[in-house]
Amino acid sequence: MTVALCLYCGSFKLGALVPCPACGHERTGDTGLDLSFSDWYISPVTLEALGGVVRTIRANAGDPELTLWTFLSYLNGDQVTPPAAHQAAVDTLLRKLSLPKVEIQPSGRAAGTPPAPPERTIRDEALSGLVLVTVVGGTAWLLMSLEQPVLALIFGCVGGLLWRRLRRRGPRTIAVQGTPPAP
Ligand SMILES: [Zn+2]
């Protein structure tokens, strides 16, 4: 079931195309817009943050239509032209309210979302670690045998830093055969 944001009051509703149980307002009528603000396209964390923005606007605007147009203008700036009747009020509200900037993270549920790049597996990491240890260790040993302990120490430190970088890069997963479960 899709969880969607009511763009008139900031409450959540089950289904993007149904009236809001909290404020009773019908959907916007623009299906693309109604669907956009659902967990199908936007991550739940982002939806919650955007809901907070809508609730703040609604608390100050009072009027649901003014809330919608203020919210759309907040998101899209100059690309949105509110109806003339709301234009001045939208500008005033946006100036008055210091609305937080919300970074919109996609949910990844929508069909057609490009698949995530392949993650590094534990085997990849072990192999690159092994190569690094061999190269750094071998070079350090060579420098020591050439009686260059300072150079060997520096090389060892650089190797350690490289190793930490390597381990920090991306989540580790165990390669699993088969298709991932449906969302
Ligand atoms: Zn509502």
pLDDT, one tens digit per residue, over 28-65 is 999 999 999 999 999 999 999 999 999 999 999 999 99
13's CB contacts (< 8 A; 6+ apart) are 3, 4, 5, 6, 19, 20, 21, 22
The backbone torsions φ and ψ at residue 130, rounded to the nearest 5 degrees and listed phi first, read: -60, -45
Q: How confident is the model at residue 173, as a pLDDT?
A: 47
pTM: 0.60
Segments of the chain scoring below 70 in pLDDT? 111-122, 166-183
Q: What is the DSSP letter of 39?
A: T
Residues 12 and 41 in one domain: yes
Number of H helices, E strands in the chain: 6, 2
Q: How confident is the model at residue 137, as a pLDDT?
A: 79
Q: Could you tell me the distance, in angstroms and rounded to a whole number, from the CA of residue 41 to the centre of ligand 1?
A: 19
Q: Could you tell me the distance, in angstroms and rounded to a whole number, from the CA of residue 66 to the centre of ligand 1?
A: 13
Residues 35 and 86 in one domain: yes
Q: What sign does the CA torsion over 126, 127, 132, 138 have? A: positive
Q: How confident is the model at residue 176, as a pLDDT?
A: 46
Q: Could you tell me the distance, in angstroms and rounded to a whole number, from the CA of residue 105 to the centre of ligand 1?
A: 22
Q: Tell me if 54 is assigned to some domain.
A: yes
Q: Could you tell me the distance, in angstroms and rounded to a whole number, from the CA of residue 50 to the centre of ligand 1?
A: 13
Q: How confident is the model at residue 175, as a pLDDT?
A: 47
Residues 157 and 89 in one domain: no
Distance CA 45, CA 51 (A): 10
Which structural domain, as residue segments, surrounds residue 36?
3-96
Q: For the chain, what is the domain count?
A: 2
